[in-house]
Amino acid sequence: MRPSIIRIFNILNNFFKGKKVTMTERYSEEEFEGYVQELIDVGRIEGKEAGIARLMLDKGYDSLSEKQKYVFDNMIKQHTVNECQRCGVDIPWCEMLDALYNGGYCNYCQHMKEKIMRE
Ligand SMILES: [Zn+2]
């Protein structure tokens, strides 16, 4: 009995993992463009990457060439936190910059962490 239960658990686990939204799918979220703009403004991306980011803001992600998409995707990967280290939620784009600086926490958990440290 036991091994098959583990197997079913693994299948379910993979199923849910597979369902998780990928970063590229999150590009269509409303706040994403604001986040890209923010990255340029604070100087976290520059040079060629910033050029591609500006092009994306101007003409949209789909207008980028395959090569540009590759550079853009990599750049976003380096400047994002997949999920909150504490509660595991997807970090909203409007909180992403904070999460980069605070070690990967959503605003709520960051707030809780500070509260605990103060007490
Ligand atoms: Zn959290």
pLDDT in tens, the chain (119 residues): 555 666 766 666 666 665 567 888 899 998 999 999 999 999 999 999 999 999 999 999 999 999 999 999 999 999 999 899 999 999 999 999 999 999 999 999 999 999 999 98
Q: Distance, CA 91 to ligand 1 centroid (Å)?
A: 8
Q: Distance, CA 66 to ligand 1 centroid (Å)?
A: 34
Q: Distance, CA 42 to ligand 1 centroid (Å)?
A: 24
Q: Distance, CA 83 to ligand 1 centroid (Å)?
A: 8
* DSSP secondary structure of 9-53: HHHHHHHHHHHSPPTGGGGGSTTHHHHHHHHHHTTSS-HHHHHHH
Q: Which residue, chain included where needed, has tokens 């993979």?
A: 14
The half-sphere exposure of 76 on its side-chain side, counting CA atoms within 13 A, is 23
Q: Distance, CA 77 to ligand 1 centroid (Å)?
A: 19
| Residues counted in the chain | 119
Q: What distance in Å separates the CA atoms of residue 14 and residue 44, rounded to the nearest whole number?
A: 34
Read off the tokens for 114: 């500070």
Helix (H) or strand (E) holding 51: helix 47-59
Q: Domain extents for the chain?
A: 22-80, 82-119
Read off the tokens for 53: 């980011």
Here the contacts of 56-61 (C-beta below 8 Å, separation 24 or greater) are 57/33, 61/27
Task: Output the pTM of the full model.
Answer: 0.78
Q: Distance, CA 109 to ligand 1 centroid (Å)?
A: 4
Q: Distance, CA 110 to ligand 1 centroid (Å)?
A: 7
